């Protein structure tokens, strides 16, 4: 079982944003790899603290976590790319390196204390259209993506301005004596490297456009607007120590011809005739997992709602499946033959055709109340 995020940071649920940040900074400094070299346990705690902070520092993610716990982010739910496993070190230093302040340099691998920044490439965004049937079962989509990658043969060298440190040092004479300050190198922007060999056809950073087929596993139950992340499938960044950006996948839900979605529940409008309502009938209904047969009892009233449990969509938070709500509508013919008119005129005052609802026949408001309960 995954450890509680509040417990990891040593705070309670009432902690505000400043307290959450302070708690994370304390844990990050305590378990930082520079302070605990070759200590796997400390590195694990360092990653867990970063994972906890990524969620609790975001108001929307925090609200979902408070309501659903870790289940809110499993199988890609909510758009997080690190959930279900720990954040990797590249992402931690890329996203939260500033929180460490002056304790550590912020680079990853080999020279964090030097101040060199590990450059991350830009993210790419695409939209993927899904039918309700695909959302119900989950699907793997293969999409073609044009991304910037380092050209074959490109090479980089240490920046001549900062000598590969990513920082430039300045010494100034003040009334308190000589003061030394450091700042990000203006030439390499902290990466510590410049291009050495630029292959033909590449840009000034040694990058070219490359089309690649990317496989995206989409979990069941996603909804319109949900964002998923495919790590490392965005643009490359220049430099031998850089990391690729991510591919952000935005879900676009296609409208179904007959089914309307409401969360994990689905709605279906079923029209039947007067004779079918009076005599009863068997009907075939379309669902997201195939067709099913239902029985309409004799004497069914217009507005009756039939509920097929578990025939809706799965919950992305793993709280089961929604229901399919069938709204029965008795169709009134707009034109009648003389024979039909004669029949209805004869039945006009028949006591069996006079409305006489019982307590079992719920009102419209009662039906709406039941539907949302």
**91/200 same-domain check:** no
Same domain, 3 and 129: no
Contacts of 135 (CB under 8 A, 6+ apart): 220, 221, 222, 223, 253, 288, 313
Read off the pLDDT band of 224 (50, 70, 90).
Answer: very high
Looking at the fold, whether 2 and 61 belong to one and the same domain comes out as yes
Cβ–Cβ < 8 Å for 250, 128: yes
Q: Count of alpha carbons within 13 Å of 203, Cβ hemisphere only?
A: 11
pLDDT on residue 130: 96
Both 128 and 246 in one domain: the answer is yes
Q: Same domain, yes or no, for 197 and 176?
A: yes
The percent of residues above 90 in pLDDT, for the chain, comes to 50
- Shared domain check, 330 and 246: no
Contact between residue 227 and residue 124 where contact means Cβ atoms under 8 Å apart: no
* Domains identified in the chain, total number: 3
pLDDT at position 84 is 41
Domain finish residue from 42, 77, 110:
110
Q: Kindly indicate the confidence band of residue 106, based on its pLDDT and cuts at 50, 70 and 90.
A: very low
Q: Are 201 and 211 in contact (CB under 8 A)?
A: no
Chain length of the chain: 373
Alpha helices in the chain (DSSP H): 5-9, 17-31, 40-56, 59-68, 89-96, 132-137, 274-279, 338-347, 364-372
Residue 276, token pair as written in the block? 């079918």
Distance (Å, whole) CA 244 – CA 236: 4
Of residues 355 and 305, more confidence is placed in 305
Residue 85 has a pLDDT of: 46
Residues 223 and 121 in one domain: yes
| Percentage of the chain modeled with pLDDT above 70 | 83
Task: Tell me the CATH number at 23.
Answer: 1.10.287.110
Statement to judge: residues 199 and 146 lie in one domain = yes
Q: Average pLDDT of 116-133?
A: 89
Q: Using CA atoms, how far apart are residues 356 and 222, in angstroms rounded to an integer?
A: 45
The region of weakest confidence among 86-95, 103-112, 239-248, 313-322 is: 103-112
Query: Which of 75, 110, 145 is the C-terminal boundary of a domain?
Result: 110
Give yes or no: residues 241 and 120 share one domain: yes
- Average pLDDT of 98-112? 44
The pLDDT confidence band at residue 92, using thresholds 50, 70 and 90, is: low
More confident residue, 322 or 191: 322
Same domain, yes or no: 40 and 56: yes
Q: What is the pLDDT of residues 3-36, one digit of tens each?
A: 899 999 999 999 999 999 999 989 988 888 777 8
Within 10 angstroms of residue 111's Cβ, the number of other Cβ atoms is 17
- The confidence score (pLDDT) of residue 241 equals 80
Note the pLDDT of residue 166. 83
Cβ contacts of 249 within 8 Å, gap of 6 or more? 126, 127, 128, 216, 218, 227, 228, 229, 230
Domain carrying residue 240: 115-254
- Alpha-carbon distance of 127 to 227, in angstroms, equals 9
What pLDDT sits at residue 228? 92
| Position 107 confidence tier, pLDDT thresholds 50, 70, 90 | very low
pLDDT, the chain, mean: 84
Residue 187 pLDDT: 86
For 137-191, the pLDDT digits (tens) are: 999 999 999 999 999 999 999 999 988 888 888 877 766 667 777 788 888 877 8
In this prediction, residue 261 carries a pLDDT of: 95
Checking if the pLDDT of 370 tops 70, the result is no
Q: List residues bridging with 243 in a β-sheet.
A: 120
Where among 85, 110, 135 does a domain terminate? Answer: 110
In tens, the pLDDT along 232-284 reads 999 999 888 888 999 999 999 999 999 999 999 999 999 999 999 999 999 99
Are residue 249 and residue 295 in the same domain, yes or no? no
Are residues 153 and 175 part of one domain? yes
pTM attached to this predicted model: 0.63
């Amino acid at each position: 079982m995954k450890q509680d995020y509040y417990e990891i940071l040593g705070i309670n649920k009432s902690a505000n944003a400043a307290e959450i940040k302070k708690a994370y900074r304390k844990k990050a400094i305590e378990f930082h790899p520079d302070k605990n070299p070759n200590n796997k346990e400390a590195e694990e705690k360092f990653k867990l603290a970063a994972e906890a902070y990524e969620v609790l520092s975001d108001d929307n993610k925090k609200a979902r976590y408070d309501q659903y716990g870790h289940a809110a982010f499993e199988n890609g739910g909510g758009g997080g790319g690190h959930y279900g496993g720990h954040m990797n070190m590249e992402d931690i230093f890329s996203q939260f390196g500033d929180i460490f302040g002056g304790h550590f340099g912020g680079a990853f691998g080999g020279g964090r204390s030097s101040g060199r920044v590990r450059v991350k490439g830009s993210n790419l965004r695409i939209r993927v259209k899904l039918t309700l049937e695909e959302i119900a079962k989950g699907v793997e989509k293969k999409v073609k993506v044009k991304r910037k990658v380092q050209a074959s043969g490109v090479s980089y060298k240490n920046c001549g301005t900062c000598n590969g440190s990513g920082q430039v040092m300045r010494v100034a004479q003040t009334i308190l004596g000589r003061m030394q300050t450091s700042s990000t190198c203006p030439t390499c922007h902290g990466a510590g490297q410049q291009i050495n060999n630029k292959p033909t056809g590449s840009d000034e950073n040694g990058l070219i456009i490359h089309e690649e087929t990317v496989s995206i596993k989409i979990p069941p139950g996603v909804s319109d607007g949900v964002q998923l992340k495919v790590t490392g499938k965005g643009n490359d960044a220049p430099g031998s120590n850089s990391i690729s950006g991510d591919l952000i996948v935005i879900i676009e839900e296609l409208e179904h011809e007959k089914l309307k979605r409401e969360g994990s529940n689905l709605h279906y409008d079923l029209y039947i005739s007067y004779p079918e309502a009076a005599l009863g009938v068997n009907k075939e209904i379309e669902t997201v997992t195939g067709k099913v047969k239902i029985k309409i009892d004799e004497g069914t009233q217009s507005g009756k709602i039939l509920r097929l449990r578990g025939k809706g969509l799965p919950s992305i938070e793993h709280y089961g499946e929604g229901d399919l709500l069938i709204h029965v509508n008795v169709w009134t013919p707009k034109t009648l033959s003389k024979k039909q008119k004669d029949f209805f005129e004869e039945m006009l005052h028949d006591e069996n055709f006079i409305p006489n609802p019982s307590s079992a026949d719920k009102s419209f408001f009662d039906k709406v109340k039941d539907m949302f309960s």
